[in-house]
Amino acid sequence: MRRTDMATDLFTPIRLGSLALPNRIVMAPLTRNRAGQPGNVPQPINATYYAQRATAGLIITEGAPISEMAHGYPGTPGIHSPAQVAGWQKVTDAVHANGGRIFLQLWHVGRISHPSLLPDDALPVAPSAIRPAGKAFTHRGMMDFVTPRALETWEIPALIESFRVAAHNARRAGFDGVEVHGANGYLLDQFLRDGTNRRTDRYGGTIANRTRLLHEVVEAVCAVWGADRVGVRISPLNQYNDMRDSSPQALFHHVATALRPSGLAFLHVMERDVHGRESPFDFRELRRHFGGPYMANGGYDKRRATAAVAAGRADCVAFGTSYIANPDLVERYARDAPLNVADRGTFYGGDEQGYTDYPALTGDQLARMRTPSALTTRLRSRASAAAGRDSGLEEAREAARMRARTRIRTCTPPGARSRSRPCPSPEGAAPPAPCASA
Ligand code: 8OZ
C-alpha cells in the first residue's frame, strides 16, 4: 500500500521500468572526455567519478560510442572493445559498491565527427550527405566539419546490429540498463529531422519513415535488455549541431506514440536547446503521447524540479552541470545546502581536476546545517506507517536504506580546492564552444 497523503517530491522513491529508485534525482549524461588512451577505455578515475555520485536515484553515463565509426570527440569511452567492457565493469562495480544504479548511454554521433577520429580516415556517416555548419572537436583542435557519407539502405541492418552488440556489451559490463541517445543532433536525431534527412528510401521522407531507424534500434536494444531496462533520450527543441525540422511537434508526438507500446523504462526529454534557447513546445502533450515514465532535463534547479514533480509534469528530473560540481547533489538538495560552482574550463578533457576533486559536504559541515526537514519528515512518516501495516517490514527496510544512502561521505582529496558557494548557473552542461579546451 502506498501513502497518498504526502506530496510527491524529489525524495519520493519511484520505479522506472523494473528499476526501483530511492529518489527522483538523476545524473544526466555528461561528456567529460577522460577515457584512457589508446583505445578510449574507461579508467579507475572514471570509476571514482561515478562512484562519488552513487546517491543519485539513477546515473546515466556519458555517451559511449557503440562502434569505431560512432566516435566524434577525443577521449569518449566506447562500448565496442573487450578492454572497454572490462573498464566499464570497474565503473559499474564501484557504483554498485556504493549502493547506486547506473545506465550506459548508447551513442552514435553520425556526421558530428571528423576523419581524424575515425578508422582509416573514413568519412563520417549520416542519413544524407549534408555537411553541418561548425567545427569538429578533434585531437588537433577544432576543425571544419566535412561532408558525411550517406548510409546506403543495405548498411542499416549492420548499424542496428552494432547497437545490439553494444547493448549486449553493456550487460556484460554490469550496467543496470541502457539509454539510447536519440538527441542533440547525433545520428538517430539526424534521421528523425527533415533538415538532416533527405532520404528517399524507407528511412526518409515521411515522419513515420524518419522515425523508423530509432524504432528499429530501440527494438534491437530491448531484445537484449527487456524494455523495462531501456530509456530513450530525445531533444525536440535542439538546434545545436546545426539541427532543424519543419514540424517538431508533429515529429516528436509521432516518436512518443511510436515508442509507447514498447513499455520503456523512461523517456528522457531535453526540454530546451543545448544552448538554453527556448521555443514553444507542448511537453505535456508529448508526455501524454508516450504514456510511460517521463524524465525531464534542461535548466532545472531544485525549486523548478520539485515543482515539476509535485505538479505531475515530470516523474523524475535529470541534472547536468550541478552533478559535475556536486557529487553529493542528493544530500545537498535534501538539506538545502549551498552548491559548489562548476568550473567550465575543466568540463571536457584533463585529469582529476574539475572531475573527481569537487568536495562533498563533510560531517562537520552537516552537523552545522539545519535539519533536512523534508527528508526527516518523510522517513519518520514512513517508519510510523510501517509499524501498523502488513507491508511494514519492507517500508522499514526502505527507510533504513534511505538513511544509509544519505549518510555523507567526504570525498575531498588532500589539497582539493573548496568551491562551496551558492551555484548561480543553470543546469545542463553546454557542449564545447569552438574555443573549448580539450
Ligand atoms: C557535450 C559535448 C560533447 C557531446 C550531447 C553527447 O550533447 C553530447 C555532448 C555534449 O548529448
Going by alpha carbons, the residue nearest to atom 5 of ligand 1 is 184
Bridge-partner residues for 339, per DSSP?
none
Please give the DSSP secondary-structure letter assigned to residue 228.
G
Using the mean position of ligand 1's atoms as its centre, give its distance from the Cα of residue 89 in Å: 23
pLDDT at 382: 38
Compute the average pLDDT of residues 235-244. 96
The grid coordinates of residue 288 equal 501524454
Q: How many CB atoms lie within 10 A of CB 262?
A: 17
SS (H, E, C) 365-412: HHHHCCCCHHHHHHHHHHHHHHHCCCCHHHHHHHHHHHHHHCCCCCCC
Three-class DSSP category at 53: coil
Q: At 430, which amino acid appears? A: A
CA–CA dist 318, 120 (Å, integer): 37
For 25, the 3-state DSSP assignment is strand
Residue nearest to atom 10 of ligand 1 (CA): 431
Q: How far is the CA of 431 from the centre of ligand 1 (A)?
A: 5
| pLDDT at res. 371 | 54
Phi-psi region of 298 (alpha: psi -120 to 50; beta: other; left: phi over 0): left
- pLDDT of 424 above 80: no
Cα 185 to ligand 1 centre (Å): 9
Write down the pLDDT at residue 380: 38
Closest to 75 in 3D by CA, of 323, 427, 432, 320: 432
Which amino acid makes up residue 72? Answer: G
DSSP designation for 36 = B
Please write the tens of the pLDDT for every residue from 171-189. 999 999 999 999 999 999 9
Weakest mean pLDDT among 50-59, 140-149, 239-248, 359-368: 359-368
* Residue 33 grid cell: 572526455
Please give the grid coordinates belonging to residue 1: 500500500
Concatenating the DSSP letter of every residue in 264-321 gives -SEEEEE-S-TT-------HHHHHHHH-S-EEEESS--HHHHHHHHHTTS-SEEEESH
- Rg value, the chain, Cα: 21
Across the range 320-342, mean pLDDT stands at 97
Residue 42 phi/psi, 5-degree rounding, is -60, 140
Nearest Cα neighbor of 52 from 372, 317, 330 is 330
Q: Give the whole-angstrom CA distance, residue 25 versus residue 59.
A: 9
Q: Exactly one of 49, 73, 186, 348 is catalytic; which is it? A: 186
Q: Residue 380 CB: number of other CB atoms within 10 A? A: 11
Asked if residues 20 and 265 have their Cβ atoms less than 8 Å apart, the reply is: no
Neighbours of 132 (CB within 10 A): 23
Q: Indicate the range of 273-287, 291-305, 306-320, 366-380 predicted with least confidence.
A: 366-380
pLDDT at residue 388 tops 50: no
Amino acid at 190: Q
pLDDT at res. 405: 33
Cα dihedral value 398, 312, 292, 250, nearest 10? -160
**Per-domain boundaries in the chain:** 14-403
Packing angle, helices 248-259 and 207-225, rounded to 10: 30
- Asked if 421 and 341 count as a contact pair (C-beta separation under 8 A), the reply is yes
Q: For cell 558530428, name the residue.
A: 112
* Nearest atom within ligand 1 for CA of residue 62: 6
- Nearest ligand 1 atom to the CA of 181 is 11
Q: For residue 21, what is the enclosing H or E element?
A: strand 19-21
CATH architecture for the domain at 14-403: Alpha-Beta Barrel (3.20)
Q: Between 392-405 and 373-387, two packed helices, what is the crossing angle to 10 degrees?
A: 160
Identify the residue whose C-alpha is closest to ligand 1 atom 8: 31
Q: What distance in Å separates the CA atoms of residue 181 and residue 44, rounded to the nearest whole number?
A: 25
Query: What is the pLDDT of the chain when averaged over all its residues?
Result: 86
Ligand 1 pocket at CB < 6 A: 31, 63, 73, 183-184, 274, 431-432
Q: Which three cell numbers stand for residue 252?
A: 516528436
Give me the phi and psi of 409, to 5 degrees please. Answer: -100, 150
State the pLDDT at residue 370. Answer: 60
Residue 71 has pLDDT above 70, yes or no: yes
Q: What's the rounded mean pLDDT across residues 39-67?
A: 98
Q: What is the pLDDT of residues 74-100, one digit of tens each?
A: 999 999 999 999 999 999 999 999 999
Contacts of 400 (CB under 8 A, 6+ apart): none
| H helix or E strand, kind and range, residue 141 | strand 141-144
Query: How many of the other CB atoms lie within 10 Å of CB of 276?
Result: 12
What ligand 1 atom has the least distance to the C-alpha of 274? 7
Question: What nine digits make up the cell of 370?
Answer: 539545519
Is 186 an active-site residue?
Answer: yes
Percentage of the chain with pLDDT > 70?
A: 83
Whether pTM exceeds 0.75:
yes
3-class secondary structure for 62-115? Answer: EEEECCHHHCCCCCCCCCCCHHHHHHHHHHHHHHHHCCCCEEEEEECCCCCCCH
Q: What percent of the chain has a predicted confidence (pLDDT) above 90?
A: 79
**In the prediction, which pLDDT does 372 show?**
55
Residue with cell 534500434: 217
Q: How far apart are the first and last CA of the chain?
A: 51
- Return the pLDDT at 364: 83
Query: Does 369 or 316 have the greater pLDDT score?
Result: 316
